[in-house]
Each structure stands twice: as C-alpha cells, then as structure tokens.
A = this chain, B = another copy of it.
Amino acid sequence: MTRAYNFSAGPATLPESVLQQAQAEMLEWHGAGASIVELSHRGPEFLQVAQEAEADLRRLMSIPDDYAVLFLQGGATGQQALIPLNIATPGQKADYVLTGHWGKTAIKQAKPYVDVNIAASSEAGGYRDIPARETWQLSDDAAYVHVTANETIHGVEFRDIPDVGDVPLVADFSSSIVSEPLDVSRFGVIYAGAQKNLGPVGVSVVIIRRDLLERAGQPRADIFTYASHVAKESMLNTPPTWNWYLAGLVFKWMLAQGGVDAFAELNRRKSGLLYDVIDNSGGFYRNEVDPAARSRMNVPFFLKDESLDKPFLAEAREAGLISLKGHRALGGMRASIYNAMPEAGVEALASFMRDFQQRKG
C-alpha cells in the first residue's frame, strides 16, 4: 500500500509535505551536523525552532499578548489535572459542562483537587447535543468553568463561545484548535494535545491568560506549575523537541495554506460533504447528533445493518481509506477529518460511501 487516506482520530494524519520535510532533515538539520532530535534544547538551533513555532501559533490564532503559550508534555489529560492544581484553591468549586467522553475524563482528573459541579450535562441523552446556555447551573464562586470544545468520540462540538461572565472559561480544544478563527480573549485557558490538528502526539499546547498565573492554586511540585513553565519558556525541563519541531512545521504549512480562515472554509466543506451523504442515505447511514452541534472534525456514523460494518471497513481499506472504525465506546464508524485531511480524501470517502450503499443497500 502507498499512503492511504487515514481517518484516525488521533494520532492523526499529517500534511504529507511536513512529513517529507521531516524525512529530509532526519539525519541533519540545516547544516547543524546533527538531527534536530539530537541537538540540545538550549542550543541556538532548537531555540530558533521553538521561538518560530510559538510566533507562528500566535499569528495563526491571533493570540493576545496577555496570554502565555506553553508547549508541554503530558497530553490533554495531564492538563486536566494541572488546571485545578494551578488555578483553584483546594476543594474550591469548579463548574464542568459535560458533553462527552473527554469532559468525563476532565472531571475525573479534577475531582481529587476541586469540588466539581456539573453545571450541565448531555449524558442522559447519550451526548448528542450541547445543553443550551440558559439551562446551565453555574456556581456563584467557581474557580473556573470547563467545557470540551469538541468531543472527538461523540462528534459533538460547541458552535459558539458560551458567556460565563467574569469566571475564567477553560476549554479543551484538543480536537478543534486552529480549525477556524477563535476569539482567544473570551477564554481563561485553552489547552490541546497536539495529535489531532497541531502535529504529533507528545506535546500539548496551553494558552493561558497571564493573570491566572498569579493564582496560588494548590500545593504542588514545581514541574506541575504553569508559572514556572512560563518563566522558563517551556524549558523548565527538557521539552519534547522533535514533537515541538514537527508541530512548528505544521504551523508553517497552515500559514502557507491561508491560515485558519482558509481551514474554516475547507472544514465546513469537508464535514458538509460527509453529513450530506449520511443525511441523504435514506437511513442506510445514520448520525444521531443534533445538527446544530455536529462536529466539523469527527463524523461518527452507523450503518443501519450492523452486519455490514466489517465489509464496510474491509472494502474501505481496499479503497485506500483507513482508520474508519468507531471508538469502542460507541461502535460504528468515525471519520476524523482534521485540517491535514485533504478535501480529496473526504471526497474519496463520500464517493466510497455512496457506492457501498448502492451495492449493499
């Protein structure tokens, strides 16, 4: 097989040109005498890579100066523990809006540290919508309000930024960061594992409003302290240099493609194409999410006849379309179509789905 269209939810497909550049530079980076993965994080070569990556991400996302940007290890789940440790006092109330699997994970990590109030939840309905803002039961004195901007497994996405007043809004953007323009100033903390829209797994981006760094938080190790990471420009300990480098190449690729405006339009078209196939299949395919909350990044769908699941996956693979199996929590299928998934890949999948239905429906 040559390179297939890979619909994996994360780790996910990367731009082919980025992989080609990483391949070309694997044994030596820009005349440095060594690979970027072998060079000191404190040397001029990696410092250049690191600084350019931050500057490019700031440009891509129009991040205001009063926000710090961190490149850290630990994944989004790690941040879900660090956030209460850093911006809530022990046992303080924190509001969580639960709209899927990853919101549940966030709550699990926070519970040892804060009094979690589930301000709203779509769990009873199987995580198929976003509870309307006016139904949320926010606390008076919460340290923060936490939302999951896009639920990767359930395919449910916030399509606007909820107003939570002066309480900092904290959002897990792991699967939708840089997929469209975003008003960063509406958030206290934005965090994201890189392995969906930003690059390779092994580095996470944390965008934090600087005043929150002054909160006392809870007793914790220095390595768990955002302010310490900010003071050392994400080099409090040795950072995951290759992962950071590869994310930086993705940022440059995004800027060259026209930035988030271009990807917003592309992602609208790509997801629209798949939802159209599903909605026009007369029930052969089905997506159960409220259309107003459907994810542009992850399109979960089910075949009416489950006995066709295996042939669907096998024939898709034959057609060069891989990683379409749904998460084990839901079953069915899932097409993850982040920025790096070309429109041609989605067109090939849409065409395969129509053809499969014609032959089996």
Contact = CB atoms under 8 A, between A and B. Distances in A.
A139 interface: no
A181 interface: no
A12 interface: yes
Interface stretch (A126-134, A162-170, A218-226, A253-261): A218-226
A237 B40 contact: no
Instruction: Sort chain A's interface into a size bin.
Output: 35 or more
Interface string A229-254: 00000001111111100100000000
Contact of A6 (B38, B202, B220): B38
A37 interface: yes
Contacts of A13: 34, 38
Contacts of A22: 26
Nearest to A193: B238
A10 interface: yes
Contacts of A35: 14, 19
A43 B323 contact: yes
A221 B112 contact: yes
Interface of A: 1-4, 6, 8-14, 16, 19-20, 22-23, 26-28, 31-35, 37-41, 43, 73-78, 80-81, 108-110, 112-113, 193, 195, 200-203, 219-224, 236-243, 246, 320, 322-323
